[in-house]
Amino acid sequence: MSDVTKINGRPLKPSTLMMGHGYDPVLSEGSLKAPIFLTSTFAFPSAADGKRHFEGITGKRPGGADGLVYSRFNAPNQEILEDRLSIWDGAEDALSFSSGMTAICVLLLTYAAQGDVIVHSGPLYAASEGFIAKWLSKFGVTYVDFPAGATREQIDAVLAKARTQAAGNGGKVCMIYLESPGNPTNALVDVEAVRAARDAALGADCPIAIDNTFLGPLWQRPLDQGADIVVYSLTKYVGGHSDLVAGSIAGAKKWMDPVRMLRNTMGGICDPNTAWMLCRSLETVELRMQRAGENAAKVCEFLAAHPKVEGLGYLGMIKDTRQKDIYDRHCLGAGSTFSLLLKGGEAECFRFLDSLKIAKLAVSLGGTETLASHPASMTHLSVPDERKAALGIGDNLIRISIGIEDADDLIADFDQALGAV
């Protein structure tokens, strides 16, 4: 009854479906909004139902339980959230997690076995890179990486190298793991080229996963470009209010089911309160992201013309023709997270950051409020200097995530802070 997904054969848009999809008020005393289900376990209608549900949980039957069993496996608020998340990416299924990193770690652990090789784009979110290099290596899993902007030929060469490495280790190339745009340079990965290279070199058994935190779900739909699994830190744009930590993955059921099995075993599912908060956030995600994107465009136009600004890493102003080509094929908007390069170094950046009156000095992104930080001395402090240079993280780089404040107020704030430099 509540689940109208089409009217006269016309599919409803995600922004419409966020208000009711996956929830039937009749099942909850008519409560318009879903209650928060604070329960660890669920009563079975009959013993036979209990058996059937456990067949789904244990994998005797694929696809998970068709009824609720125990809150480590799933629960109503999380199921509503997962139904709604899958809509944005056009995915068959989604899984929620207690953080973006839990989602990423459980995903990688599901697909990697001893001797296997993970191929990944670089840079990745530092903790993702660390999980692959530091933790998975303990189990004999190695990696090969390639720079975000790589061409088809470069990707072919990397896959060939990874296959040789895997054969030498008695394993396989188990996953291609991407992040696009990369942080902090906003370099984009050519997902279509990765897909073509994967199909040619490895066949369809090696999934392509992509961290879509920076542009998703509004401005980039990587499943449309041939990725198999999208990954999110819901902490960022989807949560959108800097008041929760959560993560998700989405894709075809055949890719989700093994991950669900490991999540059932390990835990790491999002808690019911956070799932409820995320459903509230999803009702406004399109509004918030549109506004933040419009604000970022106005702010960047101002910044680009300012004499104390050396450059901008903003997807709305790409100069490189190859990057522009990827952008035009993959992106539906330029986002609201970008890098600001000042003339000068750390001292100038610190003066700018310490002078901001509206924008808050904090790491993270995608919230309603504008945030600014200095990667070289904060998020990337422990990265060796050569790697920082290779990633384009100089002392004069400031990372900015634009929120939904008034654009002219933000411009006034950046103007006075630049004046103080």
Ligand X SMILES: *Cc1c(COP(=O)(O)O)cnc(C)c1O
The verdict on 106 binding ligand X (CB under 6 A) reads no
The verdict on 247 binding ligand X (CB under 6 A) reads yes
- In 10 A of CB 352, how many CB atoms? 23
Q: Where are the extended beta strands (E) located within 184-276? A: 208-211, 229-233, 247-251
**Residue 311: strand pairing partners:** 341
Given the complex with ligand X, which of 220 and 235 has the nearer CB atom?
235
Q: Where are the extended beta strands (E) located within 148-257? A: 173-179, 208-211, 229-233, 247-251
The verdict on 222 binding ligand X (CB under 6 A) reads no
- The label of the residue with tokens 């009824």 reads 67
Residue selected from 23, 73, 125, 314 as contacting ligand X according to rule CB under 6 A: 125
Rounded to whole angstroms, the Cα distance separating 405 from 402 reads 8
Strands 117-122 and 142-147: parallel
The verdict on 123 binding ligand X (CB under 6 A) reads no
Residue selected from 142, 213, 220, 225 as contacting ligand X according to rule CB under 6 A: 213
Q: Which stretch binds ligand X (CB under 6 A): 6-14, 186-194, 233-241, 311-319?
A: 233-241
Could you tell me how many residues of this chain bind ligand X (CB under 6 A)?
A: 14
Q: Closest approach of Cβ 118 to ligand X, in Å?
A: 16
Asked if residues 324 and 318 have their Cβ atoms less than 8 Å apart, the reply is yes
- The contacts found for 137-141 with CB under 8 angstroms, 24 or more apart, are 139/112, 139/114, 140/114, 140/115, 140/116, 140/169, 140/171, 141/112, 141/113, 141/114, 141/115, 141/116, 141/117, 141/171, 141/174
Q: Which stretch binds ligand X (CB under 6 A): 134-142, 230-238, 369-377, 400-408?
A: 230-238
- The label of the residue with tokens 């899958």 reads 86
Q: Draw the binding track, 167-206, toward ligand X (x: CB under 6 A; -: no contact).
A: ------------x---------------------------
Asked if residues 233 and 247 have their Cβ atoms less than 8 Å apart, the reply is yes
What is the chain's alpha carbon radius of gyration, rounded to the nearest angstrom? 22
Q: Which stretch binds ligand X (CB under 6 A): 7-15, 65-73, 94-102, 283-291?
A: 94-102
Given the complex with ligand X, which of 235 and 295 has the nearer CB atom?
235
Given the complex with ligand X, which of 21 and 330 has the nearer CB atom?
330
Residue selected from 20, 100, 122, 149 as contacting ligand X according to rule CB under 6 A: 100
Residue selected from 198, 236, 260, 288 as contacting ligand X according to rule CB under 6 A: 236
Given the complex with ligand X, which of 236 and 260 has the nearer CB atom?
236
Which residues of the shown chain bind ligand X in the complex (CB under 6 A)? 99-101, 125, 128, 179, 211, 213-214, 233, 235-236, 245, 247
